[in-house]
Every structure is written in structure tokens, then in C-alpha cells.
Structure 1
Amino acid sequence: MKYFFLFLVLVPAAEIGVLLYSGQTIGVWPTISLIILTGFLGAYLAKQQGLEIIRKTQEQLRRGMMPGDAILDGVSVLVGGTLLLTPGFITDIMGILLLAPPTRKFFKVLMMKAFRNWIDKGNIKVIR
């Protein structure tokens, strides 16, 4: 929980610094335009990737398979889309990394390790 609080303080502070630097470097209006563009791009990519994941999940359920991988993809797309809609360049970079299928694999491995760690510690109970 202490890392979450640190995250909530450091990320907005870093975003403000990067936005100020960007405004001084390329100008205020190009900076605002980039922020709006990445917001629209994030909404489009999240919708496109989300619909693809829903189709993949439905197909796996039809086959009687557990859609674990598709659920992790869905979490990545949800968080990535939200980060792209959040104004700022740091969150935009993280959002794009979570939405892009090649880089999403890295984050899925991290999520699986975190879930296994939580299960091993007893924070999450799996009922079968």
C-alpha cells in the first residue's frame, strides 16, 4: 500500500514536469494537441483491442477452455486504455506499452508472477 501512495504522488509530479518541459520545448498548443490526440488514440485502440479480446474469450469458452490468458489481456487493455485517456506523456507511454500485443506479453508475465505470489502468501484463495 505504501508503494501505491508513492505512485500516486510521484507520477502526477513527473507528469507535470514533463508537460511543462514539453510546453517550453515544442510550445503550448502542440503539447495540448498531442495530449488530445493520445486520448483519442487510446479510446480507439482500447475499443479495438477490447473487442478482439472479447471474441477470443468467447471462442475459448465455447471450446470449454478457461480463458485465463484472455482475461490478463483484458486487464492489460483496460489499464492501458485508462492510462492513455489520462493526460500526460508518461502515462501515455505506459498505456501504449500495455495495449501493444508484443509488449503486453511482458506485463502478463509480471501479472502472473504477482498473482502466484498473492496466492502463495494466502492473500487470494482459489476455490475449485
Structure 2
Amino acid sequence: MAFVRFLLLLLPLIELATLILLGQRVGVAWTLLWVLASGLLGVLIIQRQGWSMLQQVQQRMAQERSPFGILQAGLWGVLAGLLLLFPGLITDALALPCLLLAWRNRNRPGPGEPGGPQVWQRGEHTIIEGEWRSAEPRDSSGPRIDRD
């Protein structure tokens, strides 16, 4: 936990250093334009993703469909907007994979929808189709305890 705190304190200093280096390389005006443009883009993405996600989730819930895919894509988009909102080159670079994940997950079918995992009800339990693989292969030659 102390390492995470250290990284959170170190991130603004690294961002400041990268902005200073960018200012020296391309000029102060272009650096300020970059910071303002990325901040405005972040605000626009947050507004668009937030409202559209809320409306689509309400529609899915009204149709009794799973809102999981919309929530996943929307939250990746909001995270990308937040990263763009903070001034700096590193957070802007981290926002790009978040935007790609939001775009990739935007129309993914949820459980029970056509093209998505199948869902069954068995008594009180809901079963969602999926694949499971053991992390460790079973060793049948080792000691085994059988219970009666």
C-alpha cells in the first residue's frame, strides 16, 4: 500500500517534468494548447459517455436485459475522459488504451442475449455458460485423501 501511495505522489511530478520537456521541445504555447485541448476532450468524453451510458442502462433494465456490456464500455470511456482531464502526457497516453477498450466493448452482447453467453435457471440459481480451466494441472500421483 505504501508503494501505491508513493506512485500517486510521484505521478504529478513525472507529469510536470514531461510537460516541461515538451514545452522546451515544441514551445510553451503548443504545450498549453495540448493541455487545454486534452482537458476539453476529456470533459466531452465524460459527458457523452456518462449520459449515453445512463440512458442505455435504463433502456436495458426496462427491457429486462443485462446492462453489463454497456456498463463496461461506458466505464472505460469515463476512465479515459478522467485521464484526459488531468494535465500531462502520461495520463493522456494511458487514456488511449481505455478508449480502445471502450470502443471494443460498446456492442458486446450480454449474458442471455443472442451471440452472448447462455443463461439457465435451475431452481433458485442462475447458471451462465462459460469455460473454466484449472490454473494448475492435477497431479494424480500425489497423496490423496478420500472421505467416506
- Hey, what's the Cα distance between the residues in 2 that align with 1:14 and 1:104? 31
Q: Deviations over 1:26-67 (max 9, x none)?
A: 011110111001111111122222222223212211121232
- Hey, what's the Cα distance between the residues in 1 that align with 2:105 and 2:41? 17
Q: Which structure shows the bigger proportion of residues in strand conformation?
A: 2
- Hey, what's the Cα distance between the residues in 1 that align with 2:35 and 2:104? 22
Q: Deviations over 1:47-102 (max 9, x none)?
A: 22222222321221112123222222333233222211111111122224323433
Mapping of 1:20-31 within 5 angstroms?
20-31=20-31
* Residue of structure 2 equivalent to 1:49: 49
Contact 1:97 / 1:104 at 8 angstroms: preserved in 2? Answer: no
* Residue of structure 1 equivalent to 2:103: 102
* Residue of structure 1 equivalent to 2:19: 19
Contact 2:39 / 2:85 at 8 angstroms: preserved in 1? Answer: yes
* Residue of structure 2 equivalent to 1:86: 86
User: Secondary structure of the residue that 2:65 maps to in structure 1?
Assistant: coil
- Hey, what's the Cα distance between the residues in 2 that align with 1:68 and 1:3? 32
| Percent of aligned pairs sharing the same letter | 28
- Hey, what's the Cα distance between the residues in 1 that align with 2:39 and 2:25? 21
- TM norm structure 2: 0.60
Contact 2:79 / 2:95 at 8 angstroms: preserved in 1? Answer: yes
Contact 1:98 / 1:104 at 8 angstroms: preserved in 2? Answer: no
Instruction: State which structure, 1 or 2, has the greater radius of gyration over its C-alpha atoms.
Output: 2
Paired amino acid for 1:35: V
User: Secondary structure of the residue that 1:87 maps to in structure 2?
Assistant: coil
- Give the unaligned 5+ runs of structure 1: 106-128
The verdict on how the C-alpha distance between 1:59 and 1:3 changes in structure 2, with shifts beyond 3 A counting, is farther
Paired amino acid for 2:7: F
- Hey, what's the Cα distance between the residues in 2 that align with 1:81 and 1:89? 14
- Hey, what's the Cα distance between the residues in 2 that align with 1:34 and 1:24? 14
Runs of 4+, deviation exceeding 6 Å = none
